[in-house]
Amino acid sequence: MLTVALALAAGFACGSIPFGPLFARLRNVDLRKVGSGNIGATNAARALGKPLGVLVLICDAAKAIVPLVIARRLQLSDEAVAALGFGAVLGHMFSPWLRLRGGKGVATGLGVFVVLAPIEAAIAAGAWVVLYAVTRVSSVGSLVAVCALPALLWWRHEPRAFVALALALLPLILLKHRGNIARLLRREESKV
């Protein structure tokens, strides 16, 4: 239990680094006051341009990838690794550097599963790419990918801890997307 708790705390610390606002500050932009107000890659792409949006996406994923690769090399248990991944996404969503505000967790969640279940992560990312290409609405792909991931993990017989992690993240990510969901239902969601 101590290892799991330490992994959760380490993941939270790594995940809390707010790359979007840091890059935006270099351009004298407060990312929380432009566009959707979100600190993630989609709003960064809208406010700062697509190249910086892609950089934010990569960095938000990397803050889960790097500690998880280290945890795997240390041969931590599946439960500890899942706790670390959960902590990273929580840290991104509720960053203490931003008064417990943060992003929606999709890019950091992608980073988690790139390490833990790369095939399923690739399928989910592929679904996002296809839906984004068709709709030009990032949230559509994100929501479908996040909802499909637990089923993909279960279907491919991934460890129970990883399936539980995806199921635990699902309601949090949906909650963070409640505004997007409302706009989608009203057909008012912004395109990128």
Q: Look at residue 140 and tell me if it is in a domain.
A: yes
When divided into structural domains, the chain yields a total of 1
Report the pLDDT averaged over residues 3-25.
96
Give the model's confidence band at 138: pLDDT under 50 very low, under 70 low, under 90 confident, else very high.
Answer: confident
Q: Look at residue 153 and tell me if it is in a domain.
A: yes
Q: Look at residue 119 and tell me if it is in a domain.
A: yes
Give the model's confidence band at 3: pLDDT under 50 very low, under 70 low, under 90 confident, else very high.
Answer: very high
Give the model's confidence band at 125: pLDDT under 50 very low, under 70 low, under 90 confident, else very high.
Answer: very high
Burial 137-166 (b: 16+ CB within 10 A, else e): bbbbbbbebbebbbebbeeeebbebbbbbb
Burial 90-122 (b: 16+ CB within 10 A, else e): bbbbbbeebeebbbbbbbbbbbbbbbbbeebbe
Q: Look at residue 192 and tell me if it is in a domain.
A: no
Q: Is there a contact between 7 and 71 (Cβ–Cβ < 8 Å)?
A: yes
Q: Look at residue 33 and tell me if it is in a domain.
A: yes
- pLDDT tens, residue by residue, 167-178: 999 999 999 999
Q: Look at residue 190 and tell me if it is in a domain.
A: no
Q: Look at residue 191 and tell me if it is in a domain.
A: no
| pTM value surpassing 0.75 | yes
Computed over every residue of the chain, the mean pLDDT equals 94
Range of the structural domain that residue 169 is part of: 2-185
The yes-or-no verdict on residue 192 having pLDDT over 80 is no
Q: Is there a contact between 2 and 81 (Cβ–Cβ < 8 Å)?
A: no
The yes-or-no verdict on residue 35 having pLDDT over 90 is no
